[in-house]
Amino acid sequence: MSTSLYWIHGGGCGGDTMSLLNAESPDLLELIETADIDLLWHPSLSSTSHVEAARLTERIISGEQPLDVLCVEGAIIRGPGGTGMYDARGGVPKKDLIGALAQRAAYVLAIGTCASFGGIGSDGDVEATGLQFHKKEPGGFLGAEFRSRAGLPVINLPGCPCHCDIVIGTLASAISGVPISFTEYNTPSEWYGLLVHQGCTRNEYHEYRVEEENFGERGCLFFHMGCRGPLTYGPCNKILWNMRSSKTRVGVPCFGCTQPDFPQRSPFFYTENIEGVPLDLPDGVDRAHYLAYKGMAAAAAPLRLKQRRTRV
C-alpha cells in the first residue's frame, strides 16, 4: 500500500523545498518510487488547480482521503491578533488548515527552523510560531501534548534550510516504521545529537585559540567572528552540503540556524564578549575552567598553527 504525503507551506521562503530538490542518493523521484509515496500535494511540484487542491484538502479533513505524512514548511502565522489572516488560502487561515490536517496525519514533520521553532517571524507582528515549539518553549501552535496518529510528537527538522538528506532519511524512517530517537527539541538525535563544531576542520585552531579577526584565513572563527558551531547542534560537518562542504569549511562562521532561538539578535559576524571572553561559551564548558584552559592553550599553540600552515 502506498504512503500518502501532503506538503503545505506556511510562512516561509521555500528554501527547504529547494534544498530537497538537491537530494542525490536517493533523489526525490527515486524516493517517491522506491518508497511508493503518493504525493497528494506539494505547492511547488503539483500541477493541480487551486480548486482541486481545496477539494483534496476537504477530503483529507473529512477523513475520506487517508493521510500518512504531513510535511509543513514555514512558520505558523497567527497574526493579526490571532486570526491567521496574514497567511490564508482561499479565505481560510493556513493555521486552521494545518491544524485540521495534523489531526488526520500519522506523522507530522516540521521542515526547517521556521516550522520547528517559529524562526524569523517569531518576534514580529506576524505572530509566527513553530508547530510544537515557540523557540525553546514547548507548545507552539499544536500544543505540547499533541501526538499524531502514530503516537509521535511533531518531528522537528530544523535548518535554514534543512539539509535534503535529513528530510529524505526521516521520511524513509517514518514510512518504513524505523524507530526514531529524539532530543529535547523533538529533533532526531541521529542528525541533531552532535555539535556543528564536531567535524569542523578548524577544531585544532579552536583548541589552541588561534583566532581570526578577518575572513580568508584558516584559524578559528568562534572568538571574534561570531561562529556558533561550538554551541549549535546540527549535522553540517557530518553530512556536508553537496557532499563536500559546510560554512566553516569555506571560512564562513556557523549562524546557528538549527537552534530554536535562530536568528540571534546579535550581529552574525561578531562575537559578543567581555574583555575578550565570549559571553556564550562552548556547550558544556563553565567559565572558570574556560578562563584557565584557554590562556594556557594559546601560549602552547604550535608554530605551524600560528603561521596557518597545515604541515611543518
Question: DSSP letter string over 41-99?
Answer: E-TTT--S-HHHHHHHHHHHHHTSS-EEEEEEESBEE--STT--TTSEETTEEHHHHHH
The CATH number assigned to the domain holding 255 equals 4.10.480.10
Domain boundary among 138, 160, 191: 191
Same domain for 134 and 198?
Answer: no
Q: Please give the average per-residue pLDDT across 86-97, as a whole number.
A: 94
274 pLDDT band (50/70/90 cuts)? Answer: confident
CA distance 223 to 275: 11
Q: Please give the average per-residue pLDDT across 183-202, as a whole number.
A: 96
Q: Please give the average per-residue pLDDT across 274-284, as a whole number.
A: 88
CA distance 62 to 144: 24
The closest of 198, 256, 262 to 227, measured between CA atoms, is: 256
Same domain for 254 and 140?
Answer: no
Q: Please give the average per-residue pLDDT across 105-113, as a whole number.
A: 98
Domain boundary among 191, 219, 246: 191
pLDDT the model gives residue 310: 57
* Cis status of the peptide bond prior to 26, with omega within 30 of 0: yes
Same domain for 234 and 152?
Answer: no
pLDDT the model gives residue 312: 44
Same domain for 251 and 160?
Answer: no
Any residues with CB less than 8 A from the CB of 265 and at least 6 apart, and which?
Answer: none
Q: Which domain holds residue 207?
A: 194-312
CB 255 within 8 A of CB 298: no
Domain boundary among 139, 157, 191: 191
The closest of 214, 235, 174, 242 to 308, measured between CA atoms, is: 214
